[in-house]
Structure 1
Amino acid sequence: MIVFPFEKVTDVPTGSGGNADIAASSDLIEVMDRFSFQTLRATNKSYFRGVSGYLFDAQILIGFGKDYKVSDLEIRHPFSCLNGEGLYWRNLNLVHATLSDLQAVLRKEGVVMKSSEVGFGAPDLGISFFSNDYENSLDVRMDAITVHFRQ
């Protein structure tokens, strides 16, 4: 898969044996036409309204905002949907064993990073990196990568 910040992710497994691109302009109907979700879940809260589509076998979640446009794409450990290929931005593989390994690679590229309660984000890329075990150290397994799309 290749990330084009805020715009699209290419070659995302569809859950039915193929791959398809997801663009920021995609809506729920377009994505459902190409992807085989195992579960769709709606959220209707004062702080968030949207839909989440899950491809459990691929460890992928696709989020949609209140306008039903794609809002984010999350890939979870063990990143099996990537078939050992990786998730790339500018020929850099963003999948690493630990958050600290990835941070070192991004730092070399001059990417601005911002700490969060569960890992860190790269705001200029629209990508967040998480660990279930994160407390104060980035020397923990990378558990999820979330690509945020422009709304």
Structure 2
Amino acid sequence: MQLVPRQRIIDIPTGNKYLGAAELYKHQPFSEVVHYFSRHQMFLKGGLSSSFPTSDIKAPEMHVFYYADGKCKGVEVFNPKGGEDLFWGEVNLFPSSITELRKELIAMGVKVHIGDYGLDVPELGIFTFSAHIEDDLKGEIESIYCSFDVKQ
């Protein structure tokens, strides 16, 4: 899977050999998400959710968040642990530790902020989450929220 910062995620396997890969993008209608990922459930999630339910997709594991009108506003991709990784260009956004991702992004000139639960990278529109973030940032990235609303 490939991240196009603040716009979309492409090359997402649908699990359907007839559909192949799909994409999730800013303002994508809920009906289109259902078309490509028909085996998903819906739930209401606090915080990031509007009054519109969140899509829970199992393969690859992700949550799709919507505006109140049912248009996509962002995607939370969970650590695939050997499955389909998420890339930005050649950079694997799920390396073995938060430290590794931070070093690689900084080496590329990308501004990275350390937040309460992981890294905030506004340039890419991503926020990492680790329940076990430590001062040394050696924790594993559990999920990455890809916002299609972040202004650079």
2:68 corresponds to which residue? 66
The CA distance in 1 between the partners of 2:8 and 2:132, in whole Å, is 29
The superposition leaves residues 80-125 of structure 1 with CA deviations (integer Å, 9 ceiling, x where unpaired) of 540xxx3222322222010001000001011111222111110111
Question: How much has 1:44 moved relative to structure 2?
Answer: 8.0
Q: 1:111 to 1:6 in 2, by over 3 A?
A: same
What residue ranges of structure 2 are gaps of 5+ in the alignment? none
- The amino acid across from 1:25 in the alignment is H
The CA distance in 2 between the partners of 1:52 and 1:72, in whole Å, is 10
Question: How much has 1:132 moved relative to structure 2?
Answer: 1.6
2:22 corresponds to which residue? 20
Using the size of structure 1 for normalisation, the TM-score is 0.84
Cα contact 1:50–1:65 (8 A) shared by 2: yes
Q: How does 1:41-120 map to 2 (within 5 A)?
A: 41-42=43-44, 48-82=50-84, 86-120=85-119
The superposition leaves residues 46-98 of structure 1 with CA deviations (integer Å, 9 ceiling, x where unpaired) of x843321112342211111222111111121234540xxx3222322222010
Cα contact 1:117–1:135 (8 A) shared by 2: no
CA RMSD after TM alignment: 2.3
- The amino acid across from 2:140 in the alignment is R
The CA distance in 1 between the partners of 2:60 and 2:96, in whole Å, is 18
Q: How does 1:106-145 map to 2 (within 5 A)?
A: 106-145=105-144
Question: How much has 1:34 moved relative to structure 2?
Answer: 1.3
Q: 1:43 to 1:76 in 2, by over 3 A?
A: closer
The CA distance in 1 between the partners of 2:123 and 2:73, in whole Å, is 16
The CA distance in 2 between the partners of 1:112 and 1:102, in whole Å, is 12
What residue ranges of structure 1 are gaps of 5+ in the alignment? none
Structure 1 window deviating more from structure 2 (100-109 vs 137-146): it is 137-146
Q: 1:99 to 1:44 in 2, by over 3 A?
A: closer
Cα contact 1:37–1:53 (8 A) shared by 2: no
